[in-house]
Amino acid sequence: MTILWIYNMPLIPEAGGTERITSLVVKGLSERGYKCLGILEFKEGAKDMIYEGEKVEDLYSFLKDNHVDVVINQIAYATWLLRDFLDRGGRRWHSEGGRIISCLHFDPCNPSYKQLLKSQEKISLRVRLDIVKHTIFSSYYRRLKEQREGKVYNEIYDNSDVFLILSKCHKPYMQKVMRRKDYDKITAINNPLTFPCIATDRDLDKKNKTVLVCARMSEYHKRISLILKTWKRLGEQGITKGWTLKFVGEGPDLERYKKYVKDNGIENAIFYGQQSPLPFYEEASVLLLTSSAEGWGLVLTEALQNGAVPVVMNSSPVYSDIIDNSYNGYLTPDGNIKVFARHLKSLLTDSRRMNVMQHNALVSAHKFTIDKTIDQWEAIL
């Protein structure tokens, strides 16, 4: 069986979560005898299609000449990529027996426009009025959002043979917004561990007083300001003395966060920019996550396999697939800094609790091995 992925970026594992997971799936399927062609790149609004650095002029001929059986659409949160593929020759290929799997790599329930407004660093009077409007008429705007999402997901569903999501817990929301009679094409495959090995209890001896944030520096998506406010609160209580908060990642709000640290005199918070994350996981004792939404949360399983205890604001139902509350991490009420800080404090001040939960993290990581994920992919293929 020959498989081709379509996406708007080349296959560079370090570029992001979607790319890391795709590279692992490509490798895992290749090892089991599937012929994986990698990514055919499309750009929204552009004419060129690129495969291994070369332009593809005739999509239908490319698919037939390479005996492609399955095309995996990597963008199922918008319609443009699948439309482009179908219009350029993919529809003819599909009608002749080719199969399409569309993958939704995100939470199907997107953060609200109100969240986007509130995430801005400087909120003007006009934006404040917009926030008030979206608060008063929240039901109306929520329905509009759900209608838009439902329209996108229905079009993707109708033009695919499988609509792949990251967890069964996302399916009820999709049913809510899609409002159709059949959902047989929707199936779930969780993301696997992204690093090759699961640490051992002996590796826990190498841990130091590091609390890690591995995320895109974007307030709209990751709400890093909540972490900084929590750290400031605990610092004022003397709880963070001897500990270091390390940030790994780039993003549009990085300078904003650096300014907050400087303006508030926080000395034990360091920004490293884009780095290979594994060395940071290996030394970290705790991982913090405050995203507004996640389809899976790769950083959680990455933390588990390295024995870093996740403390998470529970903004998405998928977290319960990964975190067993108070066993291998903490799930705290979404947006509640007080409770978030209390659970982080309990780890920083209780080494016995920390050690037990780090061990539990390693044990639970075995549920998410790449072999188990590839087994699920084979069942679909």
Q: Give residue 13's pLDDT band: very low, low, confident or very high (50, 70, 90).
A: low
Predicted local distance difference test score (pLDDT) of residue 322? 97
| 112 pLDDT more than 80 | no
CATH class of the structural domain 2-109+138-192+370-380: alpha beta
Mean pLDDT across the stretch 93-98?
Answer: 97
Question: CA torsion, points 78, 81, 86, 87, in degrees to nearest 10?
Answer: 110
Mean pLDDT across the stretch 87-99?
Answer: 97
pLDDT in tens, 241-286: 999 999 999 999 999 999 999 999 998 999 999 888 999 999 999 9
| 14 pLDDT more than 80 | no
Please state which CATH number belongs to domain 201-368. Answer: 3.40.50.2000
- What is the rounded CA–CA span in Å between residue 272 and residue 67? 45
Q: Would you say the CATH fold of 201-368 matches that of 2-109+138-192+370-380?
A: yes
Every domain of the chain and the residues it spans: 2-109+138-192+370-380, 201-368
pLDDT in tens, 310-338: 999 999 999 999 999 999 999 999 999 99
Position of tokens 């050690």?
A: 355
Predicted local distance difference test score (pLDDT) of residue 249? 92
Mean pLDDT across the stretch 347-370?
Answer: 97
pTM given for the model? 0.89
| 124 pLDDT more than 90 | no
- Greater model confidence, 139 or 66: 66
